[in-house]
A and B are shown apart, each in its own frame.
Chain A
Amino acid sequence: MTERLRVHVDPDKCQGHARCKALAPELFELDEYGNAHEAGDGTVPPGLEDKAWLAKSNCPEIAIDVIEE
């Protein structure tokens, strides 16, 4: 795997289940209401790819995209 990954949370879909923050705390941040957004520009540091996919596949609102660049 040489391509880089980027995560993105759709703020209109996120309802604050916070599963992404629990599973991939390095990749997501929560606001004062507990709703999630990607940390920084969403770039997934090498070694955290599995966590990115795990966060996506556990989001009940299907609010997370993992983009392969």
Chain B
Amino acid sequence: MSDVSQPAAHPPVTDWVHDFDHTDPQWTDDPFPIWEELRAASPVVHTDRFLGCYMPTTYEAVREIANDTEHFSSRRIIVRDVRPEISRNAAPPITSDPPVHKPAKQLLLPPFTPDAMKKLEPRMRAICNELIDGFIADGQVDAAARYSKYIPVRAIAHMLGIPESDSDLFINWIHMILELGIKDENMLLQAVHEMSDYFRTHIEERRSKPTGDLISYLMNAKDKEGQPLEESHVLGSLRLLLIAGIDTTWSAIGSSLWHLARTPADRERLIAEPGLIPTAVEELLRAYSPVTMAREVVKETTISGCPVKAGNMVLLSFPAANRDPKMFPDADKVVIDRRENRHAAFGLGVHRCVGSNLARMEMQIALEEWLKRIPDFALDPAGTVTWSQGTVRGPRQLPFLLGKAM
């Protein structure tokens, strides 16, 4: 399986405060003590790696940057070893800045409202149960490879109107863009080209036979002047929907199951009180936020009193913000019924994740259906849990023993 290969290694980190590296194995395995160390040192830290990169370490500094589109551009949203050339319609609206950001985002929002997501629920429940049927009799499973991985990819394929059976193809592109592409620009470009060709074929098919899916929706969308979107915009947004919707929620569902496997008290409470699952999902999103975004500093400024210079990237760690004890009491504990939770797992400001309602629905249903059919499960002591590296963090191998016989 290509998706367990890892990018080439960087020199190991010995000084986290002045030389941090979010691709270091120590960060991948257990980033939480590192973030604590960085936060204790400064609200903003810097590394010379990645051609120069800052990281805000507090919730407040992350919020300041997320809300400041004047000094921080989204034209580059992944911290990489290289700075690939900027293409105008890379993946709008996530790679767009004001003023072009708003119309590009408004275009994508209506298909992702909570009401629109409700209509997908029956298909989601069916997907979850089909997956569970595939392994429940075995007494053991890799819950990342056989469950959490396929829920979001099938959901977004269903919405886009592309075959759910192409899931492994999409997952491989994402691995090339978000993991291997951090250190290998050719991988990145190859995946982008392959995705564009794939979507071009589907667009062509719909010219003669229009459908009710998201591809048809985007290819027939009009801009503010009533003109059709440029092909590059349609392709960029389709690439975004495919990339952004998959390993993010895969990670969130996987981390949630990982937590529940290790915490029988929380598991038993959710089985006894399924009405608490939406609240628990928010807390699991806070504690194990999968997505770290990035910005590029385009104008010198100050963040939480720290000078920030143009030309550097910014590792915008929503996961680290969500562990800031100034913002969240008992930030390092999973409080499954936490009442006040302004977590930033889906970002803050104008770039709030378009798919947040979809992700929440998928997580709730994935946990509900799993807990209904598999109330007892634990980590397999004979197996190893591995985590993805870089931009999106979540379990990629999650060996479980199922049932009372554990």
Q: Is the CB of B278 within 8 A of A22?
A: yes
Name the distance in Å between B88's Cβ and chain A's nearest Cβ. Answer: 24
* CB-CB nearest in chain A for B356: A17
Partner pick for B114 among A18, A58, A62, CB 8 A cutoff: A18
Q: How far is the CA of A53 from the CA of B282 in the complex (A)?
A: 17
Number of interface residues of A (CB under 8 A): 18
A21 CB–B CB distance under 8 Å:
yes
**Is B348 a contact of A60 with CB atoms below 8 Å?**
yes
Asked if A54 and B113 make an inter-chain contact with CB atoms under 8 angstroms apart, the answer reads: no
Bound-complex Cα distance A30 to B115 (A): 9
Q: How far is the CA of A25 from the CA of B110 in the complex (A)?
A: 19
Contact A57–B114 (Cβ < 8 Å): no
Which residue of B is nearest A32, CB measured? B110
Which one of B43-51, B143-151, B334-342, B389-397 is at the interface? Answer: B334-342
Which residues of the other chain, A, contact B340 by a CB distance below 8 angstroms?
57-58
Give how many B residues have a beta carbon under 8 Å from the other chain's beta carbons: 22
Q: Select B352's contact among A17, A30, A57, beta carbons within 8 Å.
A: A17
The closest CB in chain A to the CB of B343 belongs to A60
Partner of A34, one of B112, B342, B346: B112
Q: Which residue of A lies closest to B113 (CB)?
A: A34
A19 to B352, CA, bound (A): 13
Most buried by B among A32, A33, A62: A33
CB distance from B104 to the nearest CB of A (A): 12
Chain A residues at the B interface, C-beta cutoff of 8 Å: 15-19, 21-22, 30, 32-34, 54, 57-62
Closest CB in chain A relative to B313 CB, distance in Å: 23
Interchain CB contact under 8 A, B342 and A59: yes
The residues of B that contact A34 with a CB separation of less than 8 Å are 109-110, 112-114, 357
Closest to B339 in A: A54
- A16 adjacent to B352 (CB under 8 Å): yes
Whether B106 sits at the interface, judged by CB under 8 Å, is yes
CA distance A62 to B346 in the complex (A): 15
Q: Indicate whether B329 reaches chain A with its CB closer than 8 angstroms.
A: no
Known interface pairs A18-B356, A30-B113, A54-B339; 11 further A-B residue pairs with C-beta atoms within 8 A, sorted by A's residue number: A15-B348, A15-B350, A15-B352, A17-B356, A22-B278, A32-B109, A57-B339, A57-B342, A58-B341, A60-B346, A61-B348
Select one of A17, A30, A59 contacting B346, CB under 8 A. A17
